Structure formats: structure tokens, C-alpha cells
Amino acid sequence: MPERVGVIGAGAWGTALALQAARNQHEVLLWAWEAETVEAINRLHENPTFLPGIALPESLKATSRIEEVLRVCSLLIWVTPSQVVSSLGAQVAAEVGQEHRVIVATKGLEAETQRLISEVLQEVWGSRPRIGVLSGPTFAQELALQLPTAAVIASEAEDLTLQAQSVLHSTRFRLYRSHDVIGVQLGGVVKNVLAIAAGIVDGMQLGLNARAALVCRGLAEMLRLGLALGGQAETFFGLSGLGDLVLTSTGALSRNHELGYQLGTGKTLEQCLPAGGKVAEGAVNAHALVALARQSGVEMPICSMVHRILQQELSCAAALESLLERDVPHRESFTIENDS
């Protein structure tokens, strides 16, 4: 049965998810901050800034009035940058009611509090809407082009995960269900920081052996923090953990990998940040992630070095030496132990 679906955030990923819902014959209203993006979607049926070259159906409408989206749509897909979730959520709090269901597709942490995005929205809205989270190895452009893609939707509310499947699942977008709200979100946070590290490895031309080792030991860091915070081990070996980590650490479309690659070639951070309003969430969230790990008593040496590089405390070469000169490792482990 067709639903009215509201998508909050018209970046590449928000636009791709809006397109996916529209292709499944749902009525979609997409909120965009930029007036020019709203005009382009409604007049040209394209988002030339964030998803150029992809035709959007006429049934997909855009608006700059976020309150309108909440008034006419009971199912919301939240896809804004992590740093504006709290303020934007507070702005629309009066419009959020028991009838709403929210799918969080933003990957990140709140910088000041190190909270997951679902926790931020629950703090702002209370228990009024049911909240789920969507994550996985998903480049927006490939989903928009209907290339085979898979992701996972997690919520404590089984009916919300079923509703998300009915709206978004297709033969080209396989959407799996989970109850692990913490693990599914945390994988999406950590992999962005690790993707910067992988990009640095490639930019410094350290070789494929080094990149494979970094991805593997990065997964160990992700797993340790995830278990410490209450996530489930199997989640981190699935789509939202290992799957997303491999994609973002190796894929040419990854803004986080590209940022790291440019840093690895010797460019300054200011020269490497994405242009045109695009965001490399790993750079935004590295400080919060390292703070969260410290609070949890979990060592994350790779992520910590990325943070120090982004803070311009260390060069890429100095960070590499610091990682390689640590004590001889003990047995390989993927447990909560600090063994990196």
C-alpha cells in the first residue's frame, strides 16, 4: 500500500533514498536546505549539486519547509549531517507525534556529547516517535543507478523494520532487519574514520598489504568499542560493519577515503576537505569517536592517529611510525581486549 514518505536532507544519500521510495510507488516529499536544490528537483527533476545526472520522477517533490514534511508524512527518513541533527530536531519537535516513524540514515555522532544519532533524537523528541536506523555499504550514486545494493534496518520495534522494508526493499536494494540499534549505528561511525586512514595508506603508496592489514585491525577496533557499548558481535561482521568498512576504505566514490588519500600525498587539511557543501563525516566525527573510546576504556590506535592528523598534531609519516613502533603484538584477537 502506497505511503507518504518524508525525507529530511537532500544530499546524495537522502536523494537516493527518496528516489528508491518513489520507485516503489510511494509519494515522497524531500526537504532541502538549499532553495536552488528545491527548485532544481521540482522543475528539472534532478539534484545537480549532490546527485548529478540522475533523473528523478515527477512524483518526487521537494520543499524548503521542513514542518510541511512532518505534517503530511508519518514515515520520515532522516539524512542530515550529524552536526545539525540536534538543532534541527529541536526546531521541529512540536510537529513530531506518536503517529510518526523515523528511519535514521545519518552516520555519525553528536560532537559535544558523543551520542548516537538515535539517542540525540530520542532526547529531543522523547518517546513519541518510534525510531530505527539504516546503514550498510551504500554509495548513493550506485543505489540511484539501480546497481545491486544491500543494507540493514535496525529497530527495537519490529513493525518499523517491516515498514521500512515495504517502502525501500526491491530486487536491487536488499534490506535486512536487525534489533541491534547500537551496533548498526556505531559501525557507520567508525568506518568513516578508518576510511580516512585507508586513504592515507593509499596516498602514501604503502601498498595493498598495508591497506588490508589496516582494514582488518580497524575492524578489531570497531568490534571492541561496539561490544563495550552494548552492540552485538555479529553486527560488526555484517553489512553495517565489515561490509561498510570495506566499501568506504577501498571505493573510489568515498569522500572519506579521498580526504585521506589527499592527506597522504602531503596536502594540508584545508586543501583536502570536500567542496560544494559535501561532508566527509569521518573528519567531522573523529574527535567525538576518540573521546567516546576514551570514556569507554577502549584503545583505538588507528582512529586516534587519524584524529591527531586531522588536528594537525602529527604528520601522516609520524603517525605511521608511531603505529609501527608500538610493542610487539600478542595473539590476534577480535574481543573486547585492548590488543592492537
Give the active site residues: 191
**CA–CA distance, 237 with 229 (Å, rounded to integer):** 16
- Evaluate whether 222 touches 241 at the Cβ level (below 8 Å): yes
- Evaluate whether 5 touches 21 at the Cβ level (below 8 Å): yes
Lateral strand order in the sheet of 60-63: 60-63, 27-31, 4-8, 75-78, 101-104, 130-135, 149-154, 173-178
- Evaluate whether 6 touches 69 at the Cβ level (below 8 Å): yes
Closest by Cα among 134, 115, 86, 109 to 284? 109
Cell numbers linked to 156: 527495537
Cell numbers linked to 113: 556529547
Q: What is the DSSP string of 264-333?
A: HTT--HHHHSPSTT---HHHHHHHHHHHHHHHHT---HHHHHHHHHHTTSS-HHHHHHHHHTSPPP-S--
DSSP-based three-state secondary structure for 62 = strand
Cell numbers linked to 140: 548513493
**CA–CA distance, 152 with 105 (Å, rounded to integer):** 10
**CA–CA distance, 76 with 130 (Å, rounded to integer):** 10
